[in-house]
Structure 1
């Protein structure tokens, strides 16, 4: 009997035109969420960049929203738009200093960011921004809020510093703060963070800052919102994975909605590509995350808010190599990815042969991948010795994604830094504590 997946598979040759049929399948979607099965695979980053370039050039997409923190990505966004003091894409990525630096400081992202700046230069009025959705930059975001206010209202800056001084008792460590506040050793800073966000939300743009004044205020508001949610996240980590995960992904969904509202308020309809891990973008309702652990995610929330405008694209691999760490704050290294477990989604796709994409909305593919199957998720940490327990989750792939890209054998991405393990003092590592 012919395997329906072999009949439905569309080969990926490496040429940009190989994505023509996929772009037609994406159609008029305003939100294209492109996932990855690991944070350290070159082919995933390359395919995502190729698709994103075409969505910007041919479909008028206005922004990339990534699983990165707002202030770190803001430096990239300024450079892409011709501002800031950086002289290159690599310099513009310079604020990505926390573990795992290779998540965004790698050759594939550097090349894409350089292309994005060139596109903006050549097509004024059709620029596409680069923004961060995540919430790990608690202290950097506090600094960004006070620095903005120093330039427009020193009195408001003094009030912000007074409110944010609540966090000083933890020695600048969000994990120490979260533990102390959750266990009654320190007064929670929730009210102070909420008050600062409310004051910023009541401000109007500063006319003296020119046409970008509204963007500057919006960025400050997003940083204040990040502080509020990072405070909640820091405490929730000590109450269990599920609550902390939900705070994080709800924050990412809220940031995406804020980007849409801000862009539309400026008279430009928004179409956004989202870059994040499969675990954040594949609809959580179709995995054990949702049906057993009570976790939601960004893909689910985006589908729920914009059901007719959201297209989710997952990426998988069967074997190869990956850039990953063996533990928190350890240097990145190239590791061998074991072949997919027997009976897993990865083994099922490996049997088709080669690199290809599948339309999961076609009846034959939905029928073949609609049942529960193990799916592999590798974050910034890879533990092949406990792979089944550490990296596989039961899922229903046809309900998680609209399409799948499968690269059968993959290679590790190349970090920009020779060593990429050290954590910036005073901030939580990106993806902590899940690694995703």
Structure 2
């Protein structure tokens, strides 16, 4: 039998006392980045779990940034609100968090807590959002900073969809159905813009626009990564799944670390794993967590999140749906042999298993949506957080 140190909490409520979770601080140590996963999006208990662990990391270890699986450019709207900006939490969460993941009370409560916290906190998106949104920010920068290139930036923005407000998944599906010549035209325009911004970096620094240029360049790399990621996912690139999107996610987090932040990353279990994805047909190849582990070593801690049973939200690609996919409420299957979930007995509202020191081959599966994914769990994650049951979140 395999034994792991279990840290059990009496509550899943975000604002309940945190003392029983203090043993987790030893696991985190001086890490600069802690990733907290989930086996599926749109699950109520995973929102609560992340809020509770975020509180622990902020209040006991001084973490400063919450980086969600949200579009990089659009998430700036949420960050501005967290820092005291205008609007309502419902408005900014809907505008700045894609795939409907911001449209629930649990996310609103987390954002309100961040805004009201006595020490300033930041919100960031670590997902490549639509090229249209990112290129709009680039064109706005170039209008004054680089007028000669502004027409090219504006053309790229128009090629990416212009002013149409389209969610990321829907935009990628729509783009895949466009003629190949139109897809190539956008790719060429983005590539030319990248070369232009690289060339102009020294000049813009000399003009006192270094910060603005760096910010615009980040938006442009968002568009570049997503454009190539779309090609990969649509069968016109390399067979690497979401590798481009994961690379951008890691890059955006590492920039925050370079600026002195300690970052809590909140994204899917698949993205936060520290190992390459070896099984044909699985997403990612090189997950975000793999890049972070390679760059940060022990300064990156990965905590997967799962459950023993209940129901979950399984996303299904739906090209005609306004979001490009639909979330379907389904029942979770029984525990599978070799799954890490068999470590837990379900008596505590929240339990975290410290996997350090276990046999690397001890567990070979973990929940993924409404099935079990093959993964070398002990090598992929430092810990696994588990709740007894889950259910799909109620959309506001």
**TM-score normalised by structure 1 residue count:** 0.76
Q: State the shift of 1:186 in Å.
A: 5.4
Equivalences for residues 81-96 of structure 1 within 5 A: 81-83=83-85, 85-86=86-87, 88-96=88-96
**2:41 aligned residue (39, 42, 50):** 39
Q: Separation in 2 of the partners of 1:298 and 1:225?
A: 16
Deviations 1:80-99 (A, max 9, x none): 1223x31x22222131475x
Deviations 1:269-316 (A, max 9, x none): 22111110000002233x544999881101111111110211111111
SS at match of 2:23: helix
Q: Separation in 2 of the partners of 1:10 and 1:282?
A: 21
Q: Are 1:179 and 1:238, in contact at CA under 8 Å, matched by a contact in 2? A: no
Q: Separation in 2 of the partners of 1:79 and 1:317?
A: 32
Q: Are 1:138 and 1:174, in contact at CA under 8 Å, matched by a contact in 2? A: no
**1:232 aligned residue (228, 245, 248):** 228
Q: State the shift of 1:12 in Å.
A: 2.0
SS at match of 1:36: coil
Deviations 1:1-21 (A, max 9, x none): xx553x732222114222110
SS at match of 1:133: strand
In structure 2, the residue matched to 1:130 is: 123
In structure 1, the residue matched to 2:365 is: 374
Unpaired runs of 5+ in structure 1?
264-268, 379-386, 417-436
Change (3 A) 1:131 1:278: same
Determine if the alignment matches structure 1 residue 65 to structure 2 residue 59: no
In structure 1, the residue matched to 2:343 is: 349
In structure 1, the residue matched to 2:151 is: 158
**1:78 aligned residue (46, 65, 80):** 80
In structure 2, the residue matched to 1:12 is: 9
Q: Separation in 2 of the partners of 1:293 and 1:410?
A: 24
Q: State the shift of 1:342 in Å.
A: 4.5
Q: Are 2:339 and 2:363, in contact at CA under 8 Å, matched by a contact in 1? A: no
Q: Separation in 2 of the partners of 1:304 and 1:327?
A: 32
SS at match of 2:297: coil
SS at match of 1:93: helix
**2:265 aligned residue (274, 278, 291):** 274
Q: State the shift of 1:144 in Å.
A: 2.2
**2:392 aligned residue (389, 409, 412):** 412
Change (3 A) 1:293 1:89: closer
Q: Separation in 1 of the partners of 2:313 and 2:108?
A: 16
Q: Are 2:312 and 2:329, in contact at CA under 8 Å, matched by a contact in 1? A: yes
Q: Are 1:315 and 1:404, in contact at CA under 8 Å, matched by a contact in 2? A: yes
Query: What's the Cα RMSD here?
Result: 3.2
Task: Please identify, of 392-401 and 316-325, the stretch whose mean Cα deviation from structure 2 is larger.
Answer: 316-325
Change (3 A) 1:186 1:400: closer
Q: Are 2:353 and 2:384, in contact at CA under 8 Å, matched by a contact in 1? A: yes
Q: Are 1:289 and 1:296, in contact at CA under 8 Å, matched by a contact in 2? A: no
Q: Are 1:164 and 1:193, in contact at CA under 8 Å, matched by a contact in 2? A: no
Determine if the alignment matches structure 1 residue 254 to structure 2 residue 251: yes
Q: Separation in 2 of the partners of 1:75 and 1:26?
A: 30
Unpaired runs of 5+ in structure 2?
12-16
Q: Are 1:179 and 1:235, in contact at CA under 8 Å, matched by a contact in 2? A: no
In structure 1, the residue matched to 2:355 is: 360
In structure 2, the residue matched to 1:116 is: 114
Equivalences for residues 203-242 of structure 1 within 5 A: 203=201, 204=204, 216-239=212-235, 242=239
Q: Separation in 1 of the partners of 2:56 and 2:284?
A: 36
Change (3 A) 1:207 1:116: farther
Q: State the shift of 1:235 in Å.
A: 1.7
Q: Separation in 1 of the partners of 2:326 and 2:177?
A: 26
Change (3 A) 1:315 1:64: same
Q: How many residues get paired?
A: 375
Q: Separation in 2 of the partners of 1:273 and 1:25?
A: 14
Deviations 1:32-76 (A, max 9, x none): 111111112222221211211222233222212221111221100
- 1 or 2, which has the higher helix percentage? 1
Q: Are 1:163 and 1:192, in contact at CA under 8 Å, matched by a contact in 2? A: yes
Deviations 1:337-365 (A, max 9, x none): 2332345333x13457544211111x3xx
In structure 1, the residue matched to 2:292 is: 302
**1:392 aligned residue (357, 369, 372):** 372
Change (3 A) 1:351 1:79: closer
